[in-house]
Chain A
Amino acid sequence: MARVVVDVMLKPEILDPQGQAVQRALPRLGFDGIADVRQGKRFELEVEGPVDEAVLARIHEMAETFLANTVIEDFVVKVES
């Protein structure tokens, strides 16, 4: 089985208070030097059979209509070997 990863991130212009909360906690925990944190979502899809163009096109459609809300989020589809 092949794995396809869909990474979903809030668009850069959208305020990410969860990422900010994580970033604010870092110095308190002794992790310095991190200027910004943004939090996203990663979907790992185990695909039955080979990952060809048609399968990737379907996954792209799935990401666009369901996994990501493209009003506020960007996504990237990657095949993991």
Chain B
Amino acid sequence: MTARIGVVTFPGTLDDQDSLRAVRLAGAEPVSLWHRDKDLKQVDAVVLAGGFSYGDYLRAGAISRFSPVMETIIDQARAGMPVLGICNGFQILTESHLLPGAMLRNNHLHFICREQKLRVETSRTAWTADYTEGQEIQIPLKNMDGRYVADERVLDELEAEGRVAFRYLDFNPNGSLRDIAGITNAAGNVVGLMPHPEHAVEPLIGTGRTDGLGFFTSILKKLVNP
């Protein structure tokens, strides 16, 4: 049976189609989910895609967190369903307290859009199993509110438990503390990151790199051979 992976569309989501395509290219069945529906259509995992959900009014991800679909996703994620939050999705995951810390305006106050080098710090999550620890990948980054912050105690805890999933290499694009680009929850089913793996899955698009495909093949492998 093919794994069903849902991608949520909020008003203002931009990268849902790219995420659905990435899911399909990895070999899973993409399922569109709508922010006003509580029903997850029996998906096995969920991707919260990038964009500016609800216009990023109040704070990025703050209003989305209270949407009907997120009520169900928060419950399911706590029960172990894999959830990947990309960019705005990462912001929604911190606002939902599924991941610790918070996302703030970039330290230089500019929107940034670039090819970003990352180090994969852990392969022990549902979304990174197809990478090796220490592997360097390059995927696009584009955001306004990408500065990851948390207090020292939380940062130390993340480091000690191996929950810093990705770190920026060569260049910290937004002032994120300890060069953190992405983190995971303790169980490893919830992962959030600022750069966009779904924009690097086809050789004909962008720089031709497909470094992002591993996210989607990782989850597929986990769902098929749990």
| Size of A's binding interface in residues, CB under 8 A | 11
Chain B residues whose C-beta falls within 8 Å of the C-beta of A72 in the assembled complex = 102, 104, 149
CB distance A71 to B102 under 8 Å?
yes
CB distance B150 to A17 under 8 Å?
no
Given known contacts A71-B102, A72-B102, is B62 in contact with A66 (CB within 8 Å)? yes
A37 sits at the interface (CB 8 A): no
**Contact flags B98-129 to A (C-beta < 8 A → 1, else 0):** 00111011111100000000000000000000
CB-CB contacts below 8 Å: A1-57 with B: 13-15, 17-18, 21
> CA A15 – CA B102 in complex, angstroms?
13
Least CB separation from B107: chain A residue: A17
Q: Is the interface of B mostly helix, strand, loop or mixed?
A: loop
B66 sits at the interface (CB 8 A): yes
B162 sits at the interface (CB 8 A): no
Least CB separation from A10: chain B residue: B104
Query: B210 → chain A, closest Cβ, in Å?
Result: 35
CB-CB contacts below 8 Å: A63-81 with B: 66-67, 69, 71-72
Given known contacts A17-B108, A18-B109, is B58 in contact with A71 (CB within 8 Å)? no
CB distance A71 to B66 under 8 Å?
no
Q: Which listed residue, A17, A21, A69, touches B102 by the CB 8 Å rule? A: A69
> CA A17 – CA B145 in complex, angstroms?
12
Q: Which listed residue, B58, B101, B149, B151, touches A67 by the CB 8 Å rule? A: B58
Task: Using A15-B104, A15-B107, A17-B107 as known contacts, list a sample of 18 further A-B pairs with CB atoms less than 8 Å apart, ordered by residue number in A.
Answer: A13-B151, A15-B175, A17-B105, A17-B109, A17-B175, A18-B109, A21-B109, A66-B58, A66-B66, A67-B58, A69-B62, A69-B95, A69-B102, A71-B94, A71-B101, A71-B102, A72-B102, A72-B149
